[in-house]
Chain A
Amino acid sequence: MDGGEPSRLTPERFRELAVAELDALYRLAHYLALDAAEADDLVQETYAKAFHAAPGFVLGPRGMRPWLMRILNNVLRTRRRDERRMKVGLSGVDEPVDEAGGGLTPNARLADLDWEQVGDRLKAAVLSLPVELRITFLLFAVEDLKYREIAEVLDVPIGTVMSRLNRARQALIKRLPAEAKKGPAPRVHPEDAGASAG
């Protein structure tokens, strides 16, 4: 066990902990929806479901964040399924990590990178990832979740988490040097460039 024993919360404590996660939850929704109104919607629906499920919630060692993010992911998946336009593009995404590969970073592309100047480019590169790689990488890098927690949030095996992380990093690493030579980072994900905000 990483921390304390699982415990049930009083309604007051539940609400306090839940609301404390708002910014983290909104951040994830923001990077997944790429649309302010939809991000708001995702978060609101997530909280509505969370408060509804409060009586059955048991606080684990890593707090409430993974549980809330799991709900958000389910809300998002339901919506994407409803929209029938989820662009997964992940054929073979669940392949096991290639153990026979040479270096950990292809072509040592990161070696010459100036990390001081890479922030905006990295953000653009992350936003260009397919949504399932993007959420896996966001949970890992930005929200600092462990493999096991990501697996629980996404309801996939740990091997799938590792595979997706590997693919996400490979894509980012390949993209970063090229991105660094471009102009200002795009503000809108190409997938969503045609979407109307109203």
Chain B
Amino acid sequence: MTGMEQTPNRIELIAYADGELPPDRAARVEAHLAGRPGLRREIEQLRALRREARQALRRAAPPAAEALRARIEALAAGTPPLMPSPAAARAFTAARGARRALAAAAVAAMVLLAAGLWWFQRGGGPSGGAATIEVAAIVAKHLTCAQLEDHFYDARFPRVLSDLPPAARTYLGGDVVTPDLSDLGLSFDGAGACRIGGGTTLHLLYVSAAAPPRHVSLFVQPFAGQIDLAPDRAVMLAGPTEAHPVLAWRGERFVYYLVGDDVETTSRVAQRVGRRFPL
């Protein structure tokens, strides 16, 4: 071993300070530090920085909220049945592919909800429908929250639909549609705040009374260019061949995404909101 090799370099000194050196190399560094109090002090300062950061940031971090803990434990308790099936996972990929193909397909996915034929109407619409938002993220959020059942709640939002509009207005900064779907056999299950594609999002979740329960999600976001849609236009982001069809439409200030567990339920809701809301 040469003298050069016995002098630890800067990387070695830092690794020593971090406790990353094997014992033989650590011993060599310690021998080097024996006559160098200034260097030893600097190493102590690096360790102090780490130690203080650990204490300060652990102390300042809030624990996970009880609501989140309940949701995680609910997920844990139902691991096999609550997880998306491999088919659903494949559908995510397909949905993403469908979204990417949208630009190429141009107007192919334009749908006319009010006519009640929106699954099959792929005529030439003007709005293009290219979206920067991930369809997979919308579907994943729908599936995750639907699996939570009674644990899907957010203290900021009332669980009674008729009480929801003021809280939704406060959260989103404007009046949004909060449809009552009870005449379709879908009860309001709750609302929650989330972020999809980085955007502030309100999630309204509905569930059917009939078994097996079918869920429908309506996500509302302030419009910020995340989808190439003119006001009052709609687009199908994932169609009837997907496990979870996704429909988007835009109001003046907000974008709505509708996603459901199956084509039939989602179609009925689409027709319903299509009649109710100007598209």
Chain A residues close to B by CB (< 8 Å): 11, 14-15, 18-19, 22-23, 25-27, 30-31, 35-38, 40-41, 43-45, 47-48, 51-52, 54, 79-80, 82-85, 97-101, 103-105, 108, 110-111, 115, 118-120, 122-123, 126, 137-138, 140-142, 144, 146-147, 162, 165-166, 169, 172-173, 196-198
Contacts and interface: CB of A to CB of B under 8 A. Distances in A.
B220 to A, nearest CB: 11
A38 B171 CA distance: 14
Given A27-B58, A44-B144, A104 B53 contact: no
B6 to A, nearest CB: 16
Contact of B59 (A36, A45, A119): A119
Interface in B162-205: 170-173, 193-195, 197-198, 200, 202
Interface stretch (B23-31, B74-82, B250-258, B264-272): B74-82
Interface string B100-126: 000000000000000000000000000
Given A26-B64, A48-B144, A144 B75 contact: no
Given A27-B57, A79-B137, A104-B17, 19 more contacts: A15-B76, A19-B73, A26-B62, A26-B68, A27-B58, A31-B61, A41-B194, A41-B195, A44-B71, A51-B76, A54-B79, A99-B11, A100-B10, A101-B10, A104-B39, A104-B45, A142-B54, A166-B14, A169-B49
A47 B76 contact: yes
Contacts of B89: 52
B45 A47 contact: no
Nearest to A142: B57
Interface in B1-30: 9-11, 13-15, 17-18, 20
A83 B198 contact: yes
A85 B224 CA distance: 13
Contacts of A144: 54
A172 B57 CA distance: 14
Interface in B22-58: 38-39, 41-43, 45-46, 48-50, 52-58
Contacts of B54: 141-142, 144
Interface residues of B, number: 64
B29 to A, nearest CB: 12
Contact of A172 (B49, B83, B133, B140): B49
B43 A104 contact: yes
A97 B11 contact: yes
B160 interface: no
Contacts of A25: 64
Interface SS of A by simple majority: helix
B240 interface: no
B236 to A, nearest CB: 20
13 contacts: A22-B68, A26-B68, A40-B194, A51-B82, A52-B84, A97-B14, A104-B10, A104-B14, A122-B56, A141-B53, A142-B54, A147-B15, A165-B18
B71 A23 contact: no
Contacts of A104: 10, 13-14, 17, 39, 42-43, 45-46
A105 B133 CA distance: 44
Between B10, B15, B53, B197, the greatest number of chain A beta carbons within 10 A of the residue's beta carbon is seen for: B53
Contacts of A173: 49
A19 B10 CA distance: 40
Between A11, A115, A144, the greatest number of chain B beta carbons within 10 A of the residue's beta carbon is seen for: A115
Contacts of B133: 82
Among all A-B residue pairs, the 6 with the closest Cβ atoms? A83-B198, A119-B56, A26-B64, A198-B171, A141-B53, A27-B61
A173 B14 CA distance: 14
Contacts of B17: 104
Given A115-B48, A120-B56, A123-B56, A52 B132 contact: no
A44 B68 contact: yes
B46 A138 contact: no
A40 B68 contact: yes
Given A119-B56, A122-B56, A51 B198 contact: no
Nearest to B46: A104
